[in-house]
Amino acid sequence: MTGMIKYIPHHEIDLKKWDDSINLSVNGLVYANSWFLDIVSPGWDALIENDYESVFPLTHNRRFGIRYLYQPYFTQQLGLFSRNHLTEALVDSFLQAIPPKFRFIQIHLNTLNKVDPSRYHCSYRINHELDMINTYENLYADYDQNTRRNLKKAHKEDLVLKRKVEPDELISLFRENYGKHELLLQYRHYHILRNLIEYCLKNTFSAITGVFLPNGTFCAGSFFLREKERVIFQLAASNQSARDTGAMFLLVDNFIRENAGQALILDFEGSNDNNVSRFYKGFGAKEMHYSQVTINRLPGWIDLLRKLKKENHKR
């Protein structure tokens, strides 16, 4: 039975109770911690059941006078977090409790949030997770042939792994390669990313690992965000040299080798892109699914403008 769900504006949220709730949730994720939300979506609001038994962050923005909910960059999954049994009915009650003032909603729920696709416009997104509890030898046995082949190539290239890489080095490599093709990423997003990485390096067991060519050129790197028993492959960057030498294969394999046998989940943050998905699966990662939910409460003429803008962006 669902308790009382209240909409709580940001300034009224008890952040200690919030973080305790996420910590005690059966499906708690680092993305839902108050400090993470403060960085990626300052001023976020919330739906809260009873005394923080179940919580649902509302990451909102406003444009042209219209309030909407969105999925912040660098935040794969949010949605409903609860210390109680997560039922489809409970998820539905929270979605129904989103205040009418939010006229357009496009958010990602988490893996344990199930929704009725006949009631909501849903698209299913892919994550990839690798359980690290096995020995390295057993984990390696699940690598596919392409991954093993690229590892052999990488070991012949005299590549150098470094444990300490500056955030700006990693972000620059990302920006100069993937970032220049991702037109929606703007200066403010890189500022958020830098703040997020710097906070995690100071306050969690997170780390940046880099791969360098024999001449000292930085060619591949990744930010591993660790909280409790989950390590998230939060940001990866590589250039053409890394693709030619298999540097990213070496980087991931090194992490697996060093952490094998632990009660850890390596969360690759998935991808609906077939090539990226193939890379993660090559290490034996399993597919997980979560939902993107869209709720459109816009007046007809505004919705038409939104669709036209979206179409123009594709061209």
Cα 277 → chain centroid = 15
Structural domain range at position 193: 133-263
Q: Residue 301 — pLDDT band, cuts 50, 70, 90?
A: low
Number of C-alpha atoms within 13 angstroms, CB side, residue 50?
9
What does pTM read for this prediction? Answer: 0.92
Backbone angles phi, psi at 289, to 5 degrees: -130, 145
pLDDT tens by residue, 220-256: 999 999 999 999 999 999 999 999 999 999 999 999 9
CATH number of the domain that residue 243 is part of? 3.40.630.30
Q: 18 and 55 share a domain?
A: yes
Q: 229 and 151 share a domain?
A: yes
> Is residue 271 in some structural domain?
no
Query: For the stretch 255-274, what's the b/e string if a residue is b when 16 or more beta carbons lie within 10 angstroms of its beta carbon?
Result: bbeebbeeebbbbbbbbeee
Q: 225 and 143 share a domain?
A: yes
Helix (H) or strand (E) holding 110: none
What's the pLDDT at 303? 64
> Is residue 214 in some structural domain?
yes
Place of tokens 């910590």: 23
CB atoms within 10 A of CB 251: 24
Please state, in angstroms and as integers, the Cα–Cα distance from residue 213 to each residue in 159, 177, 184, 237, following that order: 5, 17, 31, 15
Of 56, 68, 45, nearest to 110 by C-alpha is 56
pLDDT tens by residue, 178-194: 866 666 788 899 999 99
